[in-house]
Structure 1
Amino acid sequence: MHSTDVAQADPGDLIACPQCDALYRARMPDHGRRAVCTRCHTVLIAPRRRAGMIIIALAAAQLVLVLGAVWFPFLRISRQGFANEATLLDAALSFSGGPLLLLSLAVTALIVLVPLARAVLTIYVLGPLVFDRPAPPGALRLFAFAEALRPWSMAEIFALGCAVALVKVADLAHLSFGPAFWMFAGLVFLTVIHDRWMCRWSVWHALERGYGARKAQVAA
C-alpha cells in the first residue's frame, strides 16, 4: 500500500487508517500477510483463510449465548436460609420505576439487543458470500449499521460493573453464579474474538463484488 498520489486516485480505491487518518491505496495483501499503516502501525487489511465461515460460526455462538444468558438464572443470593435467583434481565431492569426506567431500558438494549442485532446482521450479510452467492438485499447498509452498533455493544462494561458490585456485597450474603453468568462471560470473550478476527475491508470488498455479480445477473 502506498500513501503517495492519493489525490489522483479513485476514492473507491482508498483506505483510511482508523487511528491516524492516513490515506493509502487499498490493495489485497498476499496470503498470510497484512497491510499495516506505516505511521501508527495499525492493521488495515488482514485477510485470512475461511474467515467468513469462522465469523459466521462466532456470530451463531454469540446468538445462542445471548438467548441463553437471558433465559437462565444469572445469579443466586442466599442469606440465613433465604435465597433468591435473578436473571440477566432482572439485573438490567432492576431500576424499573420512575425516571430510572429509561436507564434500565438503555442498559438492556446495550447488553442484550445490540449484541443480538450484530450477530443476526453478521449472519445475514456474510452467509450468502461464504457460499459464493450474491450479496443479499440491503447488505451494504446493514453491515454499515452493524459496524455503527459496535461501539455501543457494552456487554464487557456490564460484566465489569457486575464484578465490582459482587465484590461489595460478598460479605453480606452468599453468592453463586448461575448458567447465564458463564454464558455472558463467554459472550464477552467471543465478542472480542469476533471483532479482532473480522477484516472489515475484506468484507466491504466482497460485498461490492457480490453486488456487482448480482447486477450482472440482472443485466443478462
Structure 2
Amino acid sequence: MTDVSTDHLIGCPQCDAVYSVTQTQAGQQANCTRCGHRLIAPRSKAGMQIIMLNITIAVLVVAAAVFPFLTISAAGLSNSVSILQAALAFSDGILVLLALATAALIIFIPLLRVLLSLYVLIPVVFDRPPARGAARAFRLSEALRPWSMAEIFAIGCAVALVKVTDLADVQFGPAFWMFTVLVFLVVLQDTFLCRWSVWNSLDKSKA
C-alpha cells in the first residue's frame, strides 16, 4: 500500500470539510466554504503580539484573582470579596469539588492555557527549535479552550449584579476592571492566533 501524504490538507474543525492548503499571505484569510469558519489567517508580526498579550493576560489573571472584585454594602455592613475567595466560598464538605471546579474554570485553566501558549510560541517566534513536547502542549491548550470560561463568568456576574443592586450598594473593586480587560484580551488573542501557522511552524521543525 502506498502512503499518501496529508501534509497539504487542512480540515475544518466545525464541519469536517477537507481542503487543500494554498499559500496565504499575511493579512489574507482562508475560510471554509461550507460553514464560513476561519481556517487560515496569518498576520504580520502576530507572534510577538500574541506573546505580549499572553504575558499581559497572565499578570491580569493572577492580579484579578487576589484583588477585591466587589464590595457590597447593606444595612451598615460592608464586605469585599476577591474572585478566588468567591470561588472557594463553598469549600466545605462535598461542595469542595464545586469550589475547585469553579476556580479551575475561571482562573487556573485560563492561566494554564496562557503558559502553554508561551511555552510553544516563544521558541517559534524567536526562530529557535520548538521546546520539547511543544506539539502536545499546543494540543492541550486547544483542548482546554472550551473549558476556559472567563467570559462566561463575566456574563454571569453581569446578570447577578442586576439582581444584587436592588438589594445592596455595590462598588466595583480593581479586580473587576482587571477582569473586564482580561476578557477583552482573551478574545483579541484568540482572534490574532492563526493555529494553522503554529502547526505549520512545528511541522517544519521536524523536517
Verify same fold: TM over 0.5.
yes
Matched, 1:78 2:73: yes
Asked whether the 8 Å contact 2:57–2:185 carries over to 1, the reply is yes
In structure 1, the residue matched to 2:154 is 159
The alignment status of 1:65 with 2:60, answered yes or no, reads yes
Is residue 134 of structure 2 the alignment partner of residue 139 of structure 1? yes
What do the CA deviations read for 1:131-169 (whole angstroms, capped 9, x no partner)? 111111110000000000000001111111122112112
Distance in 2 (alpha carbons) for counterparts of 1:174 and 1:128: 49
SS of the residue 2:80 aligns to: strand
Displacement of 1:124 after TM fit?
A: 1.1
User: Aligned pair in 2 of structure 1 residues 42, 180: CA closer, same or farther (>3 Å)?
Assistant: same
Report how far residue 199 of structure 1 moved: 0.6
User: TM-score when scaled to structure 1?
Assistant: 0.89
Of 80, 84, 97, the match for 2:92: 97
C-alpha distance in 1 between matches for 2:22 and 2:132 = 26
- Checking the alignment, whether the CA contact within 8 Å between 2:64 and 2:175 is kept in structure 1 is yes
Contact 2:116 2:141 in 1 (8 A): yes
Equivalent of 1:114 in 94, 109, 113: 109
Q: Percent identity?
A: 57
1:199 matched to 2:194: yes
Give yes or no for contact 2:73–2:79 (8 Å, CA) kept in 1.
yes
Contact 1:133 1:210 in 2 (8 A): no
Query: Quick one: which amino acid aligns to residue 103 of structure 1?
Result: L
| Contact 2:26/2:41, CA 8 A, preserved across alignment | no
**1: CA distance, partners of 2:126 / 2:46:** 12
Q: Which moved more, 1:94-103 or 1:49-58?
A: 94-103
What SS is found at the alignment partner of 1:15? strand
Q: Work out whether 1:54 is the aligned partner of 2:34.
A: no
RMSD between superposed Cα atoms in Å: 1.4
Unpaired runs of at least 5, structure 2: none
Worse-superposed segment, 92-101 or 46-55: 92-101
TM-score, normalised relative to structure 2: 0.94
Q: How many residues align?
A: 205
CA-CA distance at 1:9 after TM superposition:
5.3
Q: From the superposition, tell whether residues 55 and 80 of structure 1 become closer, same or farther in structure 2 (CA, over 3 Å).
A: same
Residue in 2 aligned with 1:16?
A: 11
The answer to whether the 8 A contact 1:62-1:187 is kept is yes
Give the gaps of 5 or more residues in structure 1.
Answer: 1-7, 213-220
In 2: Cα distance, 1:110 partner to 1:29 partner: 35
